[in-house]
Chain A
C-alpha cells in the first residue's frame, strides 16, 4: 500500500516523466515507480534514523535517571554510535525459530508491525507541503493503519509456541485495542476545532504570533485533550507505565520472548518509530506543527520557501523528539501498572473523560457564539478564509457536483458551529 499511496503523488511522477521518459504524456508506470522509490527512500530514512537516535537517547537518559552513565565507549565520550554497534551485533546473530513455532506466521509477524508503523509516515507532514501523500483524511488513515499493529502482536505471540508469549500477546492486544478508542476520541477533539482531517491543513492553521493559534490553547477542552491523548498514545505504544507486553519481571519478554536477532530489532524499530509517529500527531494536532510562533510573511523566492520549510521540518522533528523524551522520562520514573489497572484506567477513566471532553469541545463554539458572538477566544490571526476557500474548491470535486446549476452559491460548509449558526438564520 505504500507504493500506491506514494505513487499517487503525480507531481513527482510528472517530473520524472518529463525528464526521463516521453514528455507531455500521462506519467506511466516507470515514472510512478521512480517517484514511489524516492518517497520510500526518504521515508525509510525518517523511519530508521529517529529510531536509531531514540534508542541511544533512551539508554543515556535511563542511565542518568538511574544515576549511572549509560553507553560511553562506542564513538566517543557519549557513545553516539552505540545503536550502530547494536545493529551490527543483531544482524550477525543466528536466525532462530523455536521448534513449536508456526513458521509462516512467526516470520510474518514482525513485518506486519513494521509495515503498519511505516505506512503511517506516508501521511505525516514534516513541513508545509512536505508530505508524501497529502490525503484529505490523513488523521483517519493514520489511526486506521496503526490499528494493524495489534494483529502483528497477536500473531507474534501465538506463533511463538510458548505460553509466556501467548499470555503477553493476549494482554497486549487487549490493551492496544482498548486504548485505540480514547486515543481516537481525543485525536478528534482538535479536529472539531480545526474542521479538517488533513494534517497539512491543520498545521497551516496554526501559524501566527507565538502560541495564540496553537490548537492546544483553542479551548480548555483541547487543552485537557492533549494530556489525555498523550496518555492514550503512550499506552498504545506499549510504553511504561503500560508496558505489560515487555514486562521483564513477569513474562520474560511477553510476545517478544522467542524473537532474537534481526526480527527482534524490527519490533523495536517499529516501537520507536510509532513513538515518533504518535508524538508527531500530537505536535501537529495540538502543538503548532512546524511553526515556532513567528509568522514569516510571504517569501516569494523558491529558495527562500525551501529554506523556511527546512527550518519548519527541523522544528517539527525537535518538537516530536521533545515529546518522545517525555515518554522516555515517564518510563523510567513511574512504576508499571498491573493489567487490571491498565484496563481499568482505560475503561473507567479515560473513555468517560474523553467522551466528556468531546461533548464539551462540540458545545464550546455554540456557547461562545451565544455569549460573545464569535466562535474563538482569540481573534483569528491567520486568514482562515484562505484555507476555507481551498477547502470549498475541493467541495466542487464531489461527484456530480458540476451537474448543479448554481454552484457558486454554495457556502463553504464546515462541520463546526458556523454551519448551525447559518442554518438558524
Chain B
C-alpha cells in the first residue's frame, strides 16, 4: 500500500463524506463548514494529480473567496437560530432515492468502460517535481503553447488560451460591477404594518 494510495483514500473519503454531510446537515452554517472541508480535500486531490497551480487556485479562489462570500451571505440572511427550513420527509427520501439511482448509473458506466485505451501518461508526469505546471499554464494563458507550439510541421502556431483569458477578465469586471449594483444598500421592507 504505497503512500499515494493512503493519501488518496484519505482525501477521497474526506471529500465524499463531507459532501454528503453538506446535504444532510440542517444548519446552514454547518453546511458551509462541511463544504469548506470538501473543497479543501478536493485541493488535496489536485495536489495528488500533480496539478499544483490548480490546487492553489482552488484554495485561494474557491475556499478563500467564494466560500467566504457564501458565509457572508448566510450571515446576512440569517433567520434566527431556531428556525429551520425543513423539507417534508417524503420529498427528502425521494431526492435521496433519485440521487442513489443517478450515482449507480454513473458508477456502472465508469466501471464498465475500459479506460486503458485512453490512458496515456504524458512524459514528465511521473517524477517528483512534475506538478510544476505554473510556467506551462502561464505561457498558455499568454497565448503560447510550448508543448504544441514549436516544431509543428506546417509552421502554424496554436493560439493558446489568450482569448478566453481576456474574455474572462471582462466577464469578471462585468460581474463585479453588476453584483455591486445589485447588492447596494436599499431600504428594507418593514416587517410589521402597525407601529406603536
User: In the complex they form, do A and B come into direct contact, defined as C-beta atoms under 8 angstroms apart?
Assistant: yes
Chain A residues in contact with chain B, CB under 8 A?
1, 3-5, 7-8, 10, 13, 26-29, 32-33, 102, 104-105, 108, 112, 135-137, 140-141, 143-145, 147-148, 150-151, 154-155, 158-159, 166, 170, 173, 177, 180, 197, 391, 394-407, 409-410, 413, 415
A32-B3, A148-B59, A151-B71 known; A4 and B47 CB under 8 Å? Answer: yes
B131: chain A residues within 8 A (beta carbon): 135-136
| 24 A–B pairs (Cβ distance < 8 Å), ordered by A | A1-B43, A4-B44, A8-B128, A29-B2, A33-B3, A102-B27, A102-B29, A105-B30, A135-B131, A136-B132, A137-B132, A140-B60, A145-B59, A147-B65, A148-B63, A151-B67, A158-B75, A159-B29, A397-B124, A397-B129, A398-B146, A399-B123, A399-B136, A413-B146
- Residues on A with C-beta less than 8 A from B130 are 397
CA distance A8 to B47 in the complex (A): 10
Measured between beta carbons, the chain A residues less than 8 angstroms from B128 are 8, 10
CB <8 Å contact, A28 and B2:
yes
Write out, one digit per residue, whether chain B residues 46-77 have a CB within 8 A of any chain A CB (1) or not (0): 01100011001101100111011001100100
Choice from A4, A177, A394, A403 contacting B147 with Cβ under 8 Å: A403
The total of interchain contacts (Cβ-Cβ below 8 angstroms) comes to 154
Residues in B with CB closer than 8 Å to A137 are: 52-53, 56, 132, 134
Partner of A140 from the list B6, B56, B71, B127 (CB cut-off 8 Å) is B56
Q: Evaluate contact between A143 and B3: CB separation under 8 angstroms.
A: no
Cβ contact of A154, chosen from B30, B48, B68, cutoff 8 A: B68
Contact across chains for A147 and B60 when beta carbons are under 8 A apart: yes
Whether B60 contacts A150 by the Cβ 8 Å rule is no
A208 to B68, CA, bound (A): 43
Q: At the interface, is chain A mostly helix, strand, loop or mixed?
A: helix
Residue of A at shortest CB range from B128?
A10
Q: Given A1-B44, A33-B3, A147-B59, are A404 and B68 neighbors across the interface (CB < 8 Å)?
A: no
Which chain B residue shows the least CB distance to A147? B64
Nearest Cβ distance between residue A346 and chain B, in whole angstroms?
Answer: 15
- A164 CA to B5 CA, complexed, in Å: 45
- 6 shortest A-B CB distances, which residue pairs? A147-B64, A399-B122, A144-B60, A400-B147, A136-B132, A32-B3
**Quick one: which of B74-103 are within 8 Å of A by CB?**
75
Q: Find out whether the CB atom of A144 lies under 8 angstroms from the CB atom of B64.
A: yes
Q: In the complex, A348 Cα to B139 Cα: how many Å?
A: 33
Do residues B135 and A395 form an inter-chain contact, with CB atoms below 8 A? yes
Specify which chain B residues have a CB less than 8 angstroms from the CB of A159 in the assembled complex: 29
Compute how far the CA of A177 lies from the CA of B125 in the bound complex, rounded to whole angstroms. 35
Q: Which residues of A contact B1 (CB under 8 A)?
A: 29
B169 proximal to A (CB < 8 A): no
Tell me, rounded to whole Å, the shortest Cβ–Cβ distance linking A398 to chain B.
4
Q: Please tell me if the beta carbons of A413 and B139 are within 8 angstroms of each other in the complex.
A: yes
- Minimum CB–CB distance from A175 to chain B (whole Å) comes to 12
Interface residues of B in 142-190 (CB under 8 A from A): 142, 144, 146-148, 150-151
- Are A150 and B134 in contact, with the CB atoms below 8 A? no
Contact of B59 with A135 in the complex, beta carbons under 8 Å: no
In the assembled complex, how far is the CB of residue A249 from the closest CB belonging to chain B, in whole angstroms? 25
Please, which residue of chain A has its CB at the minimum distance from the CB of B56?
Answer: A144
Assembled-state Cα–Cα distance A159/B74 (Å): 13
B17 CB-CB contact with A under 8 Å: no
The answer on a CB contact under 8 Å between B3 and A29 is yes
Contact of B75 with A398 in the complex, beta carbons under 8 Å: no
Contact partners of A394 in chain B: CB under 8 A: 129, 132, 135
* Bound complex: CA A357 to CA B43 (Å): 32
A199 nearest CB across to chain B (Å): 13
Residues of B within 8 A of A10 (CB): 128
Q: Compute how far the CA of A394 lies from the CA of B136 in the bound complex, rounded to whole angstroms.
A: 10
Q: Which of A104, A147, A399 has the most CB of B within 10 A?
A: A399
Contacts A13-B3, A29-B5, A177-B68 aside, 11 further interface pairs with beta carbons under 8 A come to: A4-B11, A29-B6, A104-B33, A135-B131, A137-B53, A158-B29, A397-B124, A399-B124, A399-B147, A401-B123, A406-B151
Q: What are the residues of chain B within 8 A of A151 when measuring CB–CB?
A: 36, 63-64, 67-68, 71
Which residues of chain A are near B123, meaning CB under 8 Å?
Answer: 399-403
> Bound state CA distance, A330 and B123, in angstroms?
52
Give Cα A396–Cα B129 distance, bound, in whole angstroms: 12
- The residues of B that contact A170 with a CB separation of less than 8 Å are 72, 75
Taking a contact as CB atoms under 8 Å apart, the answer to whether B3 and A7 are in contact is yes
| Residue ID in chain B nearest A197 by CB atoms | B134
B23 at the interface (CB under 8 A from A): no
Q: Is B136 within 8 A of A398, CB to CB?
A: yes
Cβ of A401 and Cβ of B63 under 8 Å apart?
Answer: no
CA–CA, A102 and B57, complex, Å = 30
Among residues 111 to 132 in chain B, which have CB atoms less than 8 Å away from a CB atom of chain A? 122-125, 127-132
Query: For residue A29, which residues in chain B have a CB less than 8 angstroms away from its CB?
Result: 1-3, 5-6
Knowing A3-B7, A151-B71, A177-B68, the reply to whether A399 touches B125 (Cβ < 8 A) is yes
Q: Given that A29-B6, A404-B151 are contacting pairs, would A136 and B43 also be in contact in the complex, using a CB cutoff of 8 Å?
A: no
For A144, what are the chain B residues with a Cβ–Cβ distance below 8 Å? 56-57, 59-60, 64
How near does chain B come to A360, taking the closest CB pair, in angstroms?
A: 20
